């Protein structure tokens, strides 16, 4: 049984986005390099250069490495650090979304297009207009409309965009202020650009008040994921420096989203990042830890485990 065991062991992998295309499950992780670098809050140690795509026939068979789907040298606008990606499909084409630093060192979001779920993908000449920060997640709703949620603070630079323009000296707000909001934007019909200016995705407590920056066990840090279960939108994410995966729910895709609870308690390693997918009639959580490297934060490995909902729609907390 592969559950809760490293799925990819010949290289380091992290930030798995799992999607089902044509009846098979595909994993889109970032690729941690086996290098020695000092860790810092800017994330310099996560110096990724390429992406591999993995195909799984079922949950008992190890995934097949489909090879390099995209390399930074083939992204015209990017300078370094291709971080956590995701992939969507429309009309038989596959759209691979990824973050990278541009030539000025600012994180932008890019999109590359391919004819198969495993690529290879050809990057657009420029990043998505009006994009910034990291961790894109593409979600297609029941009506066929697609949306991108994104954002990550600290090294992901989302907290440097509070004024609407990039402020290199930006940071988290004071504890008593509202937490930094992740972003959501509808995509154009061709899946290549934002159809609107990105909106704040507000996460509230049960009383409808936005979570505060000092609420570090619940506030958004990075790693957004959007999925739908029984007509309800679930927005899940990492709390970063408190090392949990958590979720909030809404009946409106734009929110506000009400805090729901903890999905995954802390794993070995500093970061945690995930996706949630239904496959062959069951729900699964894909995530990463640092088991293979013994806890080295920039040498991670992808795992998965079963995910369960209670009758009221709440998610049962998983202890790794």
* Active-site annotation holds for 215: no
Which residue out of 32, 222, 289, 291 is catalytically annotated?
222
Residue 303 has pLDDT above 90, yes or no: yes
Q: How confident is the model at residue 76 (pLDDT cuts 50, 70, 90)?
A: very high
Query: How far apart (Å, rounded) are the C-alpha atoms in residues 114 and 249?
Result: 32
Residue 255: exposed, middle, or buried by beta-carbon count in 10 A (0-12, 13-18, 19+)? Answer: buried
Q: What is the pLDDT of residue 180?
A: 98
Q: What is the pLDDT of residue 320?
A: 87
Q: How confident is the model at residue 40 (pLDDT cuts 50, 70, 90)?
A: confident
Q: How confident is the model at residue 107 (pLDDT cuts 50, 70, 90)?
A: very high
What domains does the chain contain, in order, with CATH numbers? 12-306 (2.115.10.20)
Question: Could you tell me if 226 and 149 are in contact, meaning their C-beta atoms sit under 8 angstroms apart?
Answer: yes
CA distances from residue 30 to 61, 154, 262, 274 in whole angstroms, order as listed: 21, 19, 24, 12
Which residue out of 15, 89, 172, 289 is catalytically annotated?
15
Selected residue with higher pLDDT from 270 and 49 = 49
Q: Sign of torsion, CA 94 148 259 134?
A: positive
Across all residues in the chain, what is the average pLDDT?
Answer: 96
Q: Say how many residues make up the chain.
A: 320
Expressed in angstroms, the distance from the first to the final Cα of the chain is 15
- Give the angle 270-276-282 at the CA atoms, nearest 5°: 130
Pairing of β 12-21 and β 24-32 = antiparallel
DSSP per-residue letters across 230-245: TTEEEEEEE-GGG--E
* Active-site annotation holds for 15: yes
Question: Could you tell me if 240 and 221 are in contact, meaning their C-beta atoms sit under 8 angstroms apart?
Answer: yes
C-alpha neighbours within 13 Å on the C-beta side of residue 115: 0
Q: What is the pLDDT of residue 38?
A: 72
């Amino acid at each position: 049984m592969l559950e809760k065991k490293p799925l990819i062991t010949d290289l380091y992998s992290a930030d798995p986005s799992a999607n089902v295309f044509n009846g098979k499950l595909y994993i889109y992780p970032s690729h941690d390099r086996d290098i020695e670098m000092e860790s810092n809050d800017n994330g310099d140690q996560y110096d990724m250069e390429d992406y591999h795509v993995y195909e799984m026939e079922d949950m008992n068979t190890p995934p097949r490495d489909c090879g390099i789907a995209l390399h930074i040298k083939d992204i015209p606008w990017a300078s370094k650090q291709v971080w956590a990606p995701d992939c969507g499909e429309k009309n038989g084409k596959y759209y691979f979304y990824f973050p990278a630093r541009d030539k000025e060192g600012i994180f932008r979001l890019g999109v590359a297009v391919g004819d198969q779920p495993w690529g290879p993908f050809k990057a657009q000449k420029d990043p998505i207009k009006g994009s910034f920060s990291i961790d894109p997640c593409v979600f297609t709703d029941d009506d066929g409309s697609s949306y991108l949620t994104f954002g990550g603070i600290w090294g992901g630079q989302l907290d440097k965009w509070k004024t609407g323009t990039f402020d290199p000296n930006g940071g988290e707000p004071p504890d008593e202020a509202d937490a930094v909001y992740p972003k959501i934007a509808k995509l154009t019909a061709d899946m290549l650009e934002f159809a609107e200016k990105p909106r704040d995705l507000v996460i509230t407590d049960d009383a409808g008040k936005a979570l505060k920056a000092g609420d570090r066990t619940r506030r958004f840090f990075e790693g957004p994921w959007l999925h739908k279960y029984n007509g309800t939108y679930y927005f899940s994410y990492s709390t970063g420096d408190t090392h949990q995966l958590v979720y909030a729910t809404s009946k409106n895709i734009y929110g506000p989203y009400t805090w729901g609870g903890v999905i995954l308690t802390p794993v070995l390693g500093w970061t945690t990042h995930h996706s949630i997918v239904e496959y062959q009639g069951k729900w699964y959580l894909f995530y990463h830890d640092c088991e293979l490297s013994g806890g080295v934060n920039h040498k991670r490995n992808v795992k998965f485990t079963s995910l369960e909902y209670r009758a009221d729609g709440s998610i049962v907390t998983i202890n790794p």
